[in-house]
Structure 1
């Protein structure tokens, strides 16, 4: 039960703060629900059709060998699945602002895993990789064919799914930050199934010789480099697409959008063609290391460029709460500003108080989510969030 005085409840505060909140909730789409079943939306049927094609292609690829190498396939599936689960938990952790609904996350993962991998990329890649040796020779193809194909075919395949999801969830995918998060989930689905594909293929190519050992070796190799692969590439490409298209919540920035799309594709190229760029041996390692450093630097820049829009939504959604004294400006700053957050936590008098202030930051952000989901109504969940803020503030001193 909240101890906020009803006379100063945010619902009774003047209209300016309330108007800011209403506009922020409307423009941002925070709190909107996701409904996958949309029979009147053409994108829904396109998504289903391409997923069915991808599933059929996957079955046709794996079924002939599944009975012979079932043990190796099972080990590869478990290892790659566990790696994907670990990344899924991490992506959910960094999805701090408008938390993507579970249904949308599943739709993104499925697109990356099935249609993007088997209906698009695998088919086109196989055709292109068969053409290059005839045009440019085996040596050129060994060094450059992968980088001349995958950055275009695979990123386009993942981007197609992102555009379909934008059509299915136009109120949920509106900002550059949404592009980063949803793009990362699409890339994660692609990476997990690609890793499994490599591990399963290594078992089959060895004609059943030590199937478990081959599956484990290839899975570990793929997992070891998974932190700088498809989730990173597609996060950059998809956030670039949001800037290029523009939405109600994200003004169009053509130059910035093109830069992020090109960056994602370029990093994909350097990763796939490290052998050609590095010339073998230590040179390959240097190229891969440089690609990782550049990739995470660009990703950091992308998150920082996307953050101010989300920060403003938080401030506007919580404006009536600040006026009513439910939260303070310092507490909101502690959620949004890194320096203010550190100072806020460090200034606590005891370890217990510091821990409480850390939880208080999360409670303030949870309050913003609940208020947005309830469209500013004074519901039980909103009252509970307010009381939790007050409880943690008392503990934090």
Structure 2
């Protein structure tokens, strides 16, 4: 293989730190102790909030917990699915999730929301505060509480948190942790209505409402916010882009604020509330799509650098490497195959190319057993389904 291509591969793997491990216990890192303290405080506060009700409302807490676990599994699977190239270490993902579920929720957001809501009541009156305090409190306090999480992860794993895509995916897991705790809180609140006389009815209603609202919720908000933070900070793998950073930080705050204030904005009109809800959702999803579009060229560039030597050696074609660099490129490449068998062959080849990229990242470019196996799988696909 060309020396220049191998050097480019090594440089790409060094910049992205794809394949590197995460070590959580860092006694010499002050951020590690701050993390433990804030998450510990959050866990204790959460326990103190629910423990007194565990007896009478035990069934509601159990059902809410089961639903929360199912939600985490479903959303977690999806976020790992879109982590396309070299997935973040599970330990780092769990660290972000725990921050969102404990420190961001119970240590920072709940006291902050309460304090700011009380201030609004004193300054503007009870009626105004009931209409607007959610939309003018939660976006500022909660997005900041969750956004601090990406700074914490950056301090704990500076080599692993480097690109905007890292911010998007880790931010989604931080937001998922926050959403899980918040859903549990709302589900429990629904079960305790009417002094708990109809726990199941109230719980089902709360779960249904939260399941719907979770489509445009904290994982999306935090993914955008943390991507914006990564643009503002910059790294060896990601040039600083202040304009994009500010835009991605402001966007979820605005979306969150409108979402929480849509009834007040609509003046009580059900029809206008639906219009605002749909418009806000479209804006949020569009912002997320733009964030991925902005992040894609850097990721695709690194993928090409990692896989370029495989083109030279004949393992992959240029079109296959291009398709491995993004979902849209993959769809175009697969669609161009024409008949079903060829489209299936192309889809499997692209997946195999992505797997090879991950194995090369884990081995830092060395020809390990996994790398050789991935190359063999690509060769097998070609022999069984010749074009």
Match of 2:16 in 1: 28
Equivalent residue number for residue 145 of structure 2: 157
CA distance 1:213–1:291, change in 2 (3 Å): same
Q: Which runs of 5+ in 1 are unaligned?
A: 1-12
Residue in 1 aligned with 2:340? 351
Structure number with greater CO (CA < 8 Å, separation at least 6) is: 1
| 2:204 paired with 1:216 | yes
Which residue, 306, 320, 323 being the options, matches 2:309? 320
Note if 1:75 corresponds to 2:63.
Answer: yes
Range that drifts further, 36-45 or 233-242: 36-45
- Residue 177 of structure 1: aligned partner: 165
The counterpart of 1:300, out of the listed 289, 294, 319, is 289
SS in structure 1 of the partner of residue 180 of structure 2: helix
For 1:269 and 1:256, the matched residues in 2 are separated by: 20
Alignment match, 2:357? 368
Instruction: Indicate whether 1:334 and 2:323 are aligned.
Output: yes
The answer to whether structure 1 residue 277 and structure 2 residue 265 are counterparts is: yes
2:31 paired with 1:43: yes
TM-fit CA distance, 1:342: 3.8
User: Which consecutive residues of structure 2, in runs of 5 or more, have no partner in the other structure?
Assistant: none
Tell me the residue number matched to 1:243: 231
Distance 1:248 1:222, change over 3 A: same
1:109 to 92, 97, 114: 97
Distance in 2 separating the partners of 1:249 and 1:241 = 14
Aligned to 2:112: 124
TM-score (norm 1): 0.94
Whole-Å Cα distance in 2 between the matches of residues 343 and 135 of structure 1? 56
1:64 matched to 2:77: no
Shift of 1:350: 5.2
Shift of 1:356: 2.6
Q: Give yes or no for the alignment of 1:267 onto 2:255.
A: yes
Tell me the distance in 2 between the aligned counterparts of 1:20 and 1:312: 11
| 1:286 aligned partner | 275
Map residues 129-140 of structure 1 onto 2, 5 A cutoff: 129-140=117-128
The 1:287/1:325 distance shift into structure 2, 3 A limit, reads same
Q: What is the alpha-carbon distance in structure 2 between the residues aligned to residue 337 and residue 186 of structure 1?
A: 24
CA contact (8 A) 1:76 1:216 kept: no
The corresponding residue for 1:168 is: 156
Which residue number in structure 2 is paired with residue 7 of structure 1? none
Contact kept? 1:128, 1:149, Cα under 8 Å = yes
Do the aligned partners of residues 349 and 125 (structure 1) sit closer, same or farther apart at CA in structure 2, a change above 3 Å counting?
closer
Q: 1:34 to 1:390 in 2, by over 3 A?
A: same
Q: How many residues align?
A: 385
Deviation of 1:41 (Å)? 1.0
Whether the 8 Å contact between 1:371 and 1:377 is mirrored in structure 2 is yes
Structure 1 position 179, deviation (Å): 0.5
- TM-score (normalizing by structure 2): 0.96
Question: How far has the Cα of 1:336 moved from its partner?
Answer: 2.6
